[in-house]
Amino acid sequence: MMSERTVISRPFHGSPICPSCLRLEQRLRELEEVIENCYDEVFVTDGSGICVLANKAAHKVCDVPENGLVGRYVGDLEREGVFRPSASLAALREKRPVALIQTLKSGKEILATATPLFDENGEIFRVICTSKDLAELQFLFHKLEENALLQLRRYQDELAELRKEKLQGLEMVASSPQMKNVFYLAVKASEVDCNTLITGESGVGKEVVAKNIHKMSKRASGPFVKVNCAAIPETLLESELFGYAKGSFTGALKDGKPGRLEMADGGTLFLDEIGDMPLHLQVKLLDFIQDKEFVRIGSSSPHSVDTRIIAATNKDLESLIKEGRFREDLYFRLNVLPIHIPPLRERKEDILPLAQYFLKKACSKYKVEKRLSPEVLKMLLDYSWPGNVRELENAVEQLIIIGEGPVVKPEHVPRPIRAATENQHSKVLVFDLLPLKEAVRELETKLVAMALERYGNTYKAAEVLGVNQSTVSRKARRLGQKRSRKKPDNTNDCPKGTSR
């Protein structure tokens, strides 16, 4: 017990004490001091649930005077409301460690943990119970949570700064969430030396992304070599890619020629329009990706180079695989880190920032100072841009050249863009020429049919169309007759009063 010092009895007065007994007495006193001054509550019972030890913290928490717990049965303490329920009784009953929330007579809640100790016969001879103030635990938990959040924010800020540093000076302008994700993937691609496949419509900026991945990567000091697989004839593409040995064919250089793959050693080879690469060259490219070796045309000696591959296409490679025009194994080798760039019409937020960027670039090129009027900006924003970013850049440059004065006005906007945006805002779309009378009849018919379908009666339809009800009724009859003439007559003449 905490209030009773453990006494080592001496055989008789004046008799010497053996050293081992002294050491035991010293250790018991040390253990007693440790338990007594422990910050957490310590409460120990014997195998029958009688308290044999309780430290100062236990008495304080239970609001019981010193020595008010030792010798008491925990069931009685539970009934008196000193604590409820008893963790010690639960451990004695279940013969296993128990953790539960206890309510003290003060109303405070604590987390109590009771652990039974077993003798050599498997019987419980002690139950050690410790407890913690729940309010204190919650406070510590919230403190840890706050610290963890602060640490997380610090790491996020540092990561954002690092990415910002990487993106500085790169030719990538965007505000949309889609393009921010493209930037994120580009940064990730620059941090690892893996093959990357960039997909997207023609003109979305696949080459720009590929160049920036190269600039941000550890290969930035090496060459960036581009091969357009669609622009080079099939007969020349193999020699352009892999090079040739001397005397390989008539007209070949006498010392041979290195291919683009070899020229990109230590850097990046950008294979644009990879979907147009012939199948036999796909096999050779796959061999290089797997082994990092290739053989020049007319040679039997393999060459080893350290070249990263970034491929791009505006085609659906999965469809080409099904058609047997692209190798599936090459697709998986290239598509280690896929980056899809959405078309400009799906990311309207990028149109104006890009337009301003191209405006500044064009003004610098032509040594002029111009700005785009709000009406022109609205037209640029409303246009669908089938040619994507490339078309936008060309349009802005054209505006700078054609536009008169310091402000570019709507009349300077290229006719296709102006016509498309005007049609977009018009309630009537005209796609082809036809006689005016025929066009009026067609428009009237469609408007009457639409009004009747929407409102269900000629009175409301006439009110919306701004004509008399008789006019709508007449046109509706004509419309019904027209439809009945078009409908095939599949009915048979049936005698009156019978059914088919």
Residues 110 and 45 in one domain: yes
Residue 498 falls within a domain, yes or no? Answer: no
Domain C-terminal end among 301, 318, 342:
342
Distance CA 171, CA 388 (A): 16
Q: Is the pLDDT of residue 82 over 50?
A: yes
Q: Mean pLDDT over residues 35-61, rounded?
A: 83
- Give 283-303 pLDDT, tens digit per residue: 999 999 999 999 988 888 898
Domain C-terminal end among 109, 133, 168:
168
Residue 230 falls within a domain, yes or no? Answer: yes
Distance CA 216, CA 187 (A): 7
Q: Give, in degrees to the nearest 5, the angle at Cα 22 between 20 and 28.
A: 105
Residues 408 and 450 in one domain: no
Residue 332 falls within a domain, yes or no? Answer: yes
In the predicted model, what is the mean pLDDT of the chain?
Answer: 83
Residue 15 falls within a domain, yes or no? Answer: no
Residues 150 and 249 in one domain: no
Residues 55 and 194 in one domain: no
What pTM did the predictor assign? 0.56
pLDDT at 6: 39
Beta sheet of 268-272, edge-to-edge order: 224-228, 268-272, 308-313, 196-199, 337-340
Residues 268 and 289 in one domain: yes
Residue 31 falls within a domain, yes or no? Answer: no
Residues 261 and 392 in one domain: no
Residue 10 falls within a domain, yes or no? Answer: no
Percent of the chain's residues with pLDDT above 70: 84
* Distance between first and last Cα of the chain: 105
- 277-281, 302-306, 315-319, 460-464: range with lowest mean pLDDT: 460-464
DSSP state of 23: H
Residues 260 and 366 in one domain: no
- Give 188-235 pLDDT, tens digit per residue: 999 999 999 999 999 999 999 999 999 999 999 999 999 999 999 988
DSSP string, 434-476: --HHHHHHHHHHHHHHHHHHHHSSHHHHHHHHTS-HHHHHHHH
pLDDT at 145: 79
Residues 185 and 303 in one domain: yes
Residues 329 and 268 in one domain: yes
What is the CATH classification number for the domain harbouring 395? 1.10.8.60
Domain C-terminal end among 134, 168, 202:
168
* Distance, CA of 433 to chain centre: 49
Q: By residue range, what is the domain housing residue 385?
A: 347-425
- 29-38, 226-235, 338-347, 468-477: range with lowest mean pLDDT: 29-38
Residues 335 and 450 in one domain: no
Residues 275 and 254 in one domain: yes
Number of domains in the chain: 4
pLDDT at 2: 40
Q: Which residues contact 333 (CB under 8 A, 6 or more apart)?
A: 195, 286, 289, 290
Residue 359 falls within a domain, yes or no? Answer: yes
Note the helical H segments in 323-350: 328-334
Both tokens of 284, joined, read: 């050779």
Beta strands in 185-263 (DSSP E): 196-199, 224-228, 243-244, 257-258
Beta sheet of 41-46, edge-to-edge order: 51-54, 41-46, 124-133, 109-118, 98-104, 83-84
Whether omega before 85 lies within 30 degrees of 0, making that bond cis, reads yes
Q: Is the pLDDT of residue 63 over 90?
A: no
- Give 427-452 pLDDT, tens digit per residue: 565 556 778 888 788 888 888 888 88
